[in-house]
Amino acid sequence: MNRSEIYSRVRNIFADLFLVDDITLDDSTAADQVEGWDSLTHINLIIAVESAFGFKFDLGELEKFKAVGDLVDAIERHLQ
């Protein structure tokens, strides 16, 4: 799966979670740029991503997520 395909799946997860059909994401998109992205939705986002891609992040990875690009980078590493 390439980065574009990962982004497509992550975008669908965001759309479902934040109830926004046309959400725009890029590597620099951070929580303060997405309405409703608080600590609780962040946990739900991580659970949804883990379920969709079939793996679990370790704590060290979770602490490094500052923007969507960090999340997508971690997904890429897990899928290699």
Cβ pair 78, 6 in contact under 8 A: no
Cβ pair 16, 52 in contact under 8 A: no
User: How do the pLDDT tens digits run along the chain, 80 residues long?
Assistant: 899 999 999 999 999 999 998 889 999 999 999 999 999 999 999 999 999 999 999 999 999 999 999 999 999 999 99
- Mind giving me the DSSP string for 32-48? GGSTT--HHHHHHHHHH
Q: What is the pLDDT of residue 47?
A: 97
Instruction: Give the integer Cα–Cα distance in Å for 78 and 39.
Output: 23
Say how many C-beta atoms besides its own lie within 10 A of residue 80's C-beta: 6
Look up the pTM and report it: 0.91
